[in-house]
Structures are given as structure tokens and as C-alpha cells.
């Protein structure tokens, strides 16, 4: 009996330290602040707007919100061009507003993760001005170089910006070129300067001291560029993919991304996060669109810990025509590569890509949301995915994204525009979708806001919102947090995902989806780990069963496009029973 009691105590202690690592199984919800909620009627979302809507996020069940940049910026790239990393953009509010948002989020138990943009600042930054002047340590804060043959009209190398044309801009003050891998208004910082590296760590400490739970790191693999021994920069070879000489795709980027020094800097940042990790494990997520093997190195090198690299596999490798087998292949691809004891993550969308509901089709919204939520690790949801929001239609006249404007092409601009995925959030069917009470909004509201919005979806018997919320509620069950993972394609259209907990007293979670346009009846007794009697805990918009209905595993019928989640039907009496024994034992012992 003593052994039994001790075991129970040990189990309790272990689960407490697991809680600490809150992001091991968590939902991180990306907010694009400009488009979430406008509190003062200027047509631009802001911090007070986010604060007003925290109860919505709490009710939805998200663990943390990641805010796209909220810092002082001339908004040439909508906040990814930062003037001052420790000041709030005027249009988003003040530092007092941030502190109030932080306090309210803490009160509600919603964590805040901030965007960290280390590759570049705005040229309006004081650092840049001091660097132009070659003032002290700031002299080498940016990547400066003479033109070829010291000519002010010939750039130092042939490098091309992600947003088209030369990546070098001549600066008349310093009489040198500066590098900008993104827009001209985003000069690259120079990570070969130790002063700069220290300065950037101070930025992390500033926000950690305010209580944030971690960072999402922007464009991390662009931090370092190769420099020759004589200080010149090597030309990149042509890719052969396109004849458009202004396109980023024209070159093979051997020297401007994925350099080895990058990983060291990321591991150094992890150490800074550890300084603040006593009460809460801090999260770091890095954005790098690159080869999967290079991505895995962000997790750590076996000696030092790093950060969780964003998994863009759902974005890049699945589409509306993917089969159930395609999905299992793609899931394995990530899981098989992950180093031991690291955390997986699943990204369904962000502000740079066409919305999930548009890429996969509205019919697959429930399936894709369910998949990202019940697989192990962190689910990253871009605002509006829980509603099935689709891309808005933005005319050339209304286009503001520099990536589209730089094409100067009023016909084909939409192919490179990120505006359609950034339209204001749909709260209700009133003016401006309830996003703003102003006369206009910074981007037009998508035209389907009267049918796709929070108010309508909360009131409906079935909706993407309700389904999403019901699945999120399982995120912290033992099955989803740490259960074993099974995935079986029963046909081209039917995928079954099982999460079986190690303890028989915990419930198994089973997710099932029909990707096709005809009804399917499947026998789940063929799938390992599926309980005999299943109770519906989440039922998508295309399904007919309701929550709490039960079905036998040997015959489950799925209407077209239906996604459902089940748990074991039989109430488990084991856990409460054990608890009863345990408390009785303690009482006995005390007497």
C-alpha cells in the first residue's frame, strides 16, 4: 500500500513539472493586429481592440496569442520594418496600452508571444542614422559595402531582394550601399557585429521583463550573408528557374540564407529565454522557409537547445486535392525528422499565404483544423481560420502590400499580393463586419462577412467555429498531450487519426475525416486503438451526428466532407475510483 501511495504522489509531481512546459501541447493563435479589432474608429486594428476581444480568445480556448509586430514603424511592410524595437506604433497604441493588455491577458490566462524581427530595421531607426554617420559601435550595425569598382551606380553584388530588384541601395550620406533582403525600407542588420548581437539580446530581455511568454522569430534564415576575405560579396549563380531578372527566383541563394552562424545566434537567444524561465518555460518559434534538414537544426545541435522551427508542410505540400495518403506522408515527413524530445508544430496559415479555406477549399476547413489540433505539439492558427474565412478580393486600387505594389502590374499583381489574406476579421454582420466603427478600413472587408462571422457561427447549430472550439477543448487531455499517434488512410478520402493515452484510465481521442464528395461507411475495428463504442465530441458542419451521440466502431458513416472527433463512450470509472482510494488512504494515514 505504501508503494502504491508513493507512486501516486510521484505521478502528481511529474504532472506539475509538465504543466511548466505549457507549449508542449498548445494552441498559439496568430493575431495580425492591423486587422483584428479597431477600438477608436480609424479603420486600423489596435492593442485596445485586442484587449476588448480577449474574452473571445479565452472562450475559444487558445493558450497563447502571437502578435505580428506592434512596434514603432513607418509601415512600409506593415510593421516588419521597425524603427524602435521597444516602442509601440502610434496607430496601435501606447506602452501603457500594452501593459494593460498584458495585465488583462494574465488575468484571463491567455499568454502573449511577440514577433521578433531580427534581420532588419526601418531606415528611420536611430541605429541606422548613427550607422550612416559611422558613429562608434553603430558603424557596423548594418551590412554596408562599396559598389563594384567603388562605383556608386553598380551594386556590390548581383543579389536580389525577396520583393524584387537589387538587394542593395546606395546611401548618399554614407556613400556606400546597404543591403536589404526585403524592401528598400528594411536595411539588414549585421550579425557579425558583437555589439549588435548584444543589443538584440537586450530587446528580448526588455519584453521578457514585461512578462511575455516568448517570441516568434521572423525570417531567421536570412540573418547572415557570406562575405569574402577582402570584404566584398560573392555573386550568386543563376537558378535557371525564370528569365525575369528582377525576380528573387532568378538566383540560387547560396550566399544570402541558411548560413551556419545563424544557428549559434538562435541558441544564444534560447539562453536569454532561459534567464527568464524559472516560472514558465518560454516558447521560441522560428520562421525559415527552407529545406527540412536545415530547419531541424534550429531545434538544437545535441549540445545546445534552440527553437521550434515552424512546420510549413501543410502550407507548401498539401492542397485541396490532397488525398488521405498524401496527408499521412506529409505528417511522417516532419515527425520522422524531428530530433528526440522536441515538440512538433502544425501551421495552417499566416498573413503571407492565401487563407486555408481558399487553398484547401471551404469543404476542408473542419478537416484541416482538426488535423492541426489533434496531432502532437503546437497548433498555430491564423486569425479567422476558426471561422473558415476566405481570401478577400482586393482591387489594384486598394492594393497596399509592397510585394504586390512592386510588380507595377495592375493585371497580375494579385499573384504576389498578400492583402487578400489580411482583410479585417469578421465579428458580425454589421458595418465593417464589426471590426471598426469608422467610415473606412485600411483594407476592404471581404464581401462574404455577412455569412462568415463570429456572431452567425456562434448562433448556428453547426459551424466551423463550434467545431474548432470543441476540438480545442481536447488539446490538454492526456491523449492529445502525450498519447501515442496513429494515422491510417482507409481510402483516398478517409483519414483516421488516433491518440491513445498511456494510461487506460484516460480517454482515447479519434479524429476521422471524409475528404471526398460522396458518403463513406467505414469499419474502424481495423484501426489499432479505436475503442468499441465511440462518443461524438466534435462534429463538423457537413456531418449529421451530434455531440454526445454514440456509434459502434465497426460501422461509421461519414457524409461528404464530414470531420468528426470521438472519445470512448463508456464512462471511465477507474480514475475517480483511484482518487477515492487515494483520498481515503490519506485520511486513514492522518488519523
Ligand X SMILES: *[C@@H]1O[C@H](CO)[C@@H](O)[C@H](O)[C@H]1NC(C)=O
Among residues 23, 30, 35, 46, the one that binds Ca ion under rule CB under 5 A: 46
Q: Which of 139, 47, 60 is nearest to 101 (CA)?
A: 47
Q: Interface with Ca ion includes 236 (CB under 5 A)?
A: no
**How many CA atoms lie within 13 Å of 368's alpha carbon, on the beta-carbon side?**
30
Is 98 within 8 Å of 215 (Cβ atoms)?
Answer: no
The option from ligand X, Ca ion, none interacting with 176 (CB < 5 to 8 A, set by class) reads none
- Tell the burial category of 587 from Cβ atoms under 10 Å away from its Cβ (0-12, 13-18, 19+): exposed
Strand partners, 513: 495, 563
Q: Is there a catalytic annotation at residue 287?
A: yes
* Rg of the chain, C-alpha, whole Å: 25
Q: What is residue 529's DSSP assignment? A: T
The interface region with Ca ion, picked from 195-203, 216-224, 521-529, 563-571 by CB under 5 A, is 216-224
Q: What is residue 478's DSSP assignment? A: H
The option from ligand X, Ca ion, none interacting with 447 (CB < 5 to 8 A, set by class) reads ligand X
Nearer to ligand X, 70 or 471 (CB): 70
Binding mask 438-467 for ligand X (x = CB under 6 A): --------xxx-------------------
SS3 85: strand
Q: Interface with Ca ion includes 391 (CB under 5 A)?
A: no
Q: Interface with ligand X includes 326 (CB under 6 A)?
A: yes
Nearer to ligand X, 19 or 447 (CB): 447
Q: Interface with ligand X includes 133 (CB under 6 A)?
A: yes
Neighbours of 59 (CB within 10 A): 11
| Count of residues near Ca ion by CB under 5 A | 8
Among residues 97, 188, 218, 385, the one that binds Ca ion under rule CB under 5 A: 188
The interface region with Ca ion, picked from 34-42, 150-158, 550-558, 559-567 by CB under 5 A, is 34-42
SS3 207: helix
Among residues 5, 8, 40, 100, the one that binds ligand X under rule CB under 6 A: 40
Q: Interface with ligand X includes 117 (CB under 6 A)?
A: yes
Annotated active-site residue in 38, 287, 366, 419: 287
The option from Ca ion, ligand X, none interacting with 219 (CB < 5 to 8 A, set by class) reads ligand X
Nearer to Ca ion, 81 or 188 (CB): 188
Question: For residues 116-155, which are near Ca ion according to CB under 5 A?
Answer: 119
Closest approach, Cβ 538 to ligand X, in A, equals 26
Question: For residues 44-83, which are near ligand X according to CB under 6 A?
Answer: 77, 80
Distance in angstroms (rounded) separating the CA atoms of residues 96 and 99? 5
Task: For the chain, give percent helix, strand, coil, nearest 5.
Answer: 35, 15, 50
Distance in angstroms (rounded) separating the CA atoms of residues 427 and 56? 10
Q: Interface with Ca ion includes 44 (CB under 5 A)?
A: yes
Distance in angstroms (rounded) separating the CA atoms of residues 80 and 403? 13
Distance in angstroms (rounded) separating the CA atoms of residues 526 and 508? 16
Distance in angstroms (rounded) separating the CA atoms of residues 255 and 236? 7
Distance in angstroms (rounded) separating the CA atoms of residues 426 and 384? 8
Grid look-up 549585421 returns: 190
Q: Interface with ligand X includes 129 (CB under 6 A)?
A: yes
Strand partners, 521: 557
The option from ligand X, Ca ion, none interacting with 395 (CB < 5 to 8 A, set by class) reads none
The option from ligand X, Ca ion, none interacting with 46 (CB < 5 to 8 A, set by class) reads Ca ion
CA dist 81 → 78, 285, 361, 416, 532 (Å): 7, 19, 33, 19, 55
Among residues 94, 169, 393, 416, the one that binds ligand X under rule CB under 6 A: 393
Q: Interface with Ca ion includes 38 (CB under 5 A)?
A: yes
Is 183 within 8 Å of 130 (Cβ atoms)?
Answer: no
The option from ligand X, Ca ion, none interacting with 188 (CB < 5 to 8 A, set by class) reads Ca ion
Nearer to ligand X, 39 or 307 (CB): 39
- Cell (9 digits) for 328: 499521412
Binding mask 522-551 for Ca ion (x = CB under 5 A): ------------------------------
The interface region with ligand X, picked from 317-325, 472-480, 503-511, 548-556 by CB under 6 A, is 317-325
Question: For residues 406-435, which are near ligand X according to CB under 6 A?
Answer: none
DSSP structure string for 298-323 = GGB-SSSB--EE---HHHHH--TT--
Distance in angstroms (rounded) separating the CA atoms of residues 369 and 390? 14
Question: For residues 211-230, which are near ligand X according to CB under 6 A?
Answer: 218-219
Q: Which residues bind Ca ion (CB under 5 A)?
A: 38, 40, 42, 44, 46, 119, 188, 222
Active-site amino acid positions: 218, 287
Amino acid at each position: 500500500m505504501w508503494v502504491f501511495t508513493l507512486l501516486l504522489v510521484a505521478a502528481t509531481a511529474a504532472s506539475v513539472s509538465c504543466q511548466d512546459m505549457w507549449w508542449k501541447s498548445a494552441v498559439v493563435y496568430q493575431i495580425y493586429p492591423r486587422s483584428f479589432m479597431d477600438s477608436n474608429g480609424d479603420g486600423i486594428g489596435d492593442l485596445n481592440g485586442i484587449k476588448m476581444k480577449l474574452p473571445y480568445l479565452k472562450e475559444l480556448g487558445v493558450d497563447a496569442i502571437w502578435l505580428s509586430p506592434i512596434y514603432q514603424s513607418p509601415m512600409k511592410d506593415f510593421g516588419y520594418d521597425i524603427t524602435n524595437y521597444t516602442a509601440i506604433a502610434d496607430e496601435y497604441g501606447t506602452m501603457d496600452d500594452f501593459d494593460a493588455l498584458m495585465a488583462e491577458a494574465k488575468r484571463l490566462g491567455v499568454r502573449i508571444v511577440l514577433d521578433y524581427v531580427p534581420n532588419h530595421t526601418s531606415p528611420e531607426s536611430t541605429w541606422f542614422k548613427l550607422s550612416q554617420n559611422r558613429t562608434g559601435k553603430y558603424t557596423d550595425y548594418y551590412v554596408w559595402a562599396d559598389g563594384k569598382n567603388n562605383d556608386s551606380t553598380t551594386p556590390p553584388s548581383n543579389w536580389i531582394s525577396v520583393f524584387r530588384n537589387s538587394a542593395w541601395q546606395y546611401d548618399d550620406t554614407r556613400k556606400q550601399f546597404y543591403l536589404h533582403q526585403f524592401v528598400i525600407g528594411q536595411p539588414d542588420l549585421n550579425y557579425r557585429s558583437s555589439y549588435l548581437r548584444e543589443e538584440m539580446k537586450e530587446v528580448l530581455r526588455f519584453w521578457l521583463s514585461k512578462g511575455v511568454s516568448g517570441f516568434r522569430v521572423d525570417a531567421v534564415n536570412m540573418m547572415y550573408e557570406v562575405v569574402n576575405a577582402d570584404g566584398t560579396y560573392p555573386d550568386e549563380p543563376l537558378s535557371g528557374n525564370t528569365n525575369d531578372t528582377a525576380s528573387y527566383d532568378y538566383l540560387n541563394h547560396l550566399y544570402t540564407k541558411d548560413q551556419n552562424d545563424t544557428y549559434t545566434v538562435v541558441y544564444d537567444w534560447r539562453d536569454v529565454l532561459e534567464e527568464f524561465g524559472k516560472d514558465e518555460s518560454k516558447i521560441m518559434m522560428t520562421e525559415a522557409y527552407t529545406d527540412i534538414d536545415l530547419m531541424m537544426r534550429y531545434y538544437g545541435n545535441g549540445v545546445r537547445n534552440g527553437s521550434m522551427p515552424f512546420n510549413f508542410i501543410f502550407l507548401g505540400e498539401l492542397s485541396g486535392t490532397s488525398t488521405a495518403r498524401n496527408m499521412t506522408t506529409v505528417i511522417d515527413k516532419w515527425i520522422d525528422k524531428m530530433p528526440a524530445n522536441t515538440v512538433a508544430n502544425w501551421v495552417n496559415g499566416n498573413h503571407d499565404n492565401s487563407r486555408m479555406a481558399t487553398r484547401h477549399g471551404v469543404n476542408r476547413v473542419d478537416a484541416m483544423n482538426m488535423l492541426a489540433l489533434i496531432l502532437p505539439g503546437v497548433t498555430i492558427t491564423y486569425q479567422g481560420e476558426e471561422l473558415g474565412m476566405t481570401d478577400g478580393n482586393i482591387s489594384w486600387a486598394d492594393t497596399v502590400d509592397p510585394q504586390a505594389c512592386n510588380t507595377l502590374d495592375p493585371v497580375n499583381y494579385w499573384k504576389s499580393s498578400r492583402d487578400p489574406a489580411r482583410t479585417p476579421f469578421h465579428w458580425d454582420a454589421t458595418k465593417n463586419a464589426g471590426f471598426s466603427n469608422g467610415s473606412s478600413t485600411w483594407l476592404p472587408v471581404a464581401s462574404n462577412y455577412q455569412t462568415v462571422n463570429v456572431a452567425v457561427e456562434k448562433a448556428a447549430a453547426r459551424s466551423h467555429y463550434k467545431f474548432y472550439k470543441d476540438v480545442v477543448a481536447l488539446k490538454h487531455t492526456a491523449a492529445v498531450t502525450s498519447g501515442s499517434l496513429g494515422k491510417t488512410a482507409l481510402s483516398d478520402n478517409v483519414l483516421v487519426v488516433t491518440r491513445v493515452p498511456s494510461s487506460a484510465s484516460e480517454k482515447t481521442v479519434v479524429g476521422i475525416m471524409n475528404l471526398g464528395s460522396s458518403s463513406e461507411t467505414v469499419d474502424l475495428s481495423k484501426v489499432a486503438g479505436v475503442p468499441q463504442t465511440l462518443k461524438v465530441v466534435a462534429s463538423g458542419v457537413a456531418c449529421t451526428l451530434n455531440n454526445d451521440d454514440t456509434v459502434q466502431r465497426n460501422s461509421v458513416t461519414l457524409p461528404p466532407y464530414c470531420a468528426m472527433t470521438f472519445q470512448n463512450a463508456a464512462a471511465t470509472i477507474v480514475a475517480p475510483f483511484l482518487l477515492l482510494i487515494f483520498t481515503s488512504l490519506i485520511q486513514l494515514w492522518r488519523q
